Amino acid sequence: MIRNPILPGFNPDPSIVRVGDDYYIATSTFEWFPGVQIHHSTDLANWTLVARPLARADLLDMRGDPDSCGVWAPCLTYANGLFHLVYTDVKRYGRTTTGGASGASLRDFHNYLVTAPSIDGPWSDRVYLNSSGFDPSLFTDEDGRQYVSNMLWDHRPGRNRFAGIVLQEYDATVRALVGERHLIFKGTELGLTEAPHIYRRDGYYYLLTAEGGTGWNHAVTMARSRTLTGPYELHPDRYILTARNRPDAPLQRAGHADLVEAPDGTPWLAYLCGRPLPNRGRCVMGRETAIQPMRWGDDGWLYTLAGDAMPVLAVEHDAAPPEPRQERTRFDTPQLPIDFQWLRTPEPDRIFSLTARPGHLRLYGRETIGSVFEQALVARRQQAFCYTAQTRIEVAPAHFQQMAGLVCYYNGTKFHYLYVSHDDAIGRHLAVMSALPDSPQADAFTAPIAIPDGAIELGVEVDFERLRFRYRCEGDADWTWLPQLFDASILSDEASAPGMANFTGAFVGVAAQDMAGTAMPADVAWFDYREREYAA
């Protein structure tokens, strides 16, 4: 049985490829480093995170990239004995056509290509492709020639910002795009045309795109042509997968898809989706990845099995049962455990160490939480509506500009942060800072709670939109709950000031700040993450 989403939590913009009996899915990571997540499976049901290839400064440096910028929509393909990975690094998002948004419509995005003989690398130096738009995709034709397609961004007033899909040949010998750029598809009236992928089958070139934006109107559009540069005719149903007109669907926001063929010839569609909170309608886990089998009709067009273009929660399929997840992470290896990431910087030694104190993750307090340059925040994805997380931290802040603790984080404008700090009046204390994206008060602090010196355990319980913190000082047998109930639904794409980019998902982890610039250390002994049923 396949249960969707197959990649729960923040795993958007899937690109899928099969090499022999192995399937790989690459997903976007935005400002989280290293860039691009790659999962592996042999049965399409059970997926294991195996690589994040953009792990070197010469491949990716996102310092200064705004929230929800950085790595957008990777495309993973395989040809000529090499994996090919193309991706966008977005440097400026701007504010566009959203009501109430301020700022200009100019954007900066740069598209690159890297290759490797194995999914484990080594990955080549990056090749610069273009900056004309985002969501680049590589297509290798039957004659071996290669082409890059991407959406075209048009900033001019009165124009369609998403101006269509452009195509240009890539020459691997000169490591550059060559020849004329062709506008091959202008999209449908749904608009926001992006995420192109091209396939060849039975004499046709098939073009898959995403339209309607990555929210509730999201859809997968298909078109085809006898020639690569078009003209492309639309699928008779236009949209081969969407939940845009079905508010009852448990998987919403379905779109941004990629197609792969199984050894038995079955076409499978991997696509982006979101699971809204039952009460709030917000997708706290961000955009996730689902998959389902499709069928080619007698007319040569692609359809869902039921012919209704609907995403499905479960698929009957031979697969082994999933393995139980390990709840406790111990920091006893020289590399950060693969479930965890940090933000933007390709110089992790400046924000944490796994060797300075063996068996611990040592954070070095840097800039403020929410900094787009250098902040010490290490976290993992929230992957279920209900979970418990807790950690043990040793930190000795000397003043109010130093702090460290447990954080539930979406981005610099959306988080709940249970931190240990110090001030002259109360001494060492515990408090919560919340960044509230849809409140007149941008940030809020709870009253400080005095705590003794020594190690402290910090915990959080999340049940759908409800979030509560607790703590236990060294020597205490029982946990102490903070009295406040926090809103977990703000850690979502939908909670936002007008015009902001919101494309990631909720994380939970640890952080440290030292706004005095003295790099205060904070030592984390372990981190627990346990998914569970709803706790009344």
Please give the radius of gyration of the chain, using alpha carbons only, rounded to the nearest integer: 23
DSSP conformation class of 229 = T
Least Cα distance to 165 among 223, 109, 92 occurs for 223
Return all residues near 512 (Cβ < 8 A) that are at least 6 apart. Answer: 363, 364, 365, 366, 376, 395, 403, 404, 520, 521, 522
Find out whether the peptide bond into 5 is cis, omega within 30 degrees of 0: yes
Q: Taking CA 109 as the corner, what is the angle to CA 108 and CA 115, rounded to the nearest 5 degrees?
A: 160
In single-letter form, the type of residue at position 125 comes to D
CA atoms within 13 A on the CB side of 360: 16
Residues taking part in catalysis? 374
**What does the chain come to in residues?**
536
Q: Is 43 left (phi over 0), alpha (psi -120 to 50) or beta?
A: alpha
Helix (H, G, I), strand (E, B) or coil at 487: strand
Going by C-alpha positions, the residue among 229, 218, 202 that lies closest to residue 296 is: 202
The alpha-helical segments, DSSP class H, found in 358-437 are none
By the 8 A CB rule, do 497 and 412 touch? Answer: no
Nearest to 193 by CA among 226, 161, 146: 161
DSSP assigned state of 264: T
Long-range contacts of 103-108 (CB under 8 A, 24+ apart): 103/499, 104/155, 105/155, 105/161, 106/155, 107/153, 107/155
Distance (Å, rounded) from C-alpha 56 to C-alpha 254?
A: 32
Q: Are the beta carbons of 97 and 153 closer than 8 angstroms?
A: no
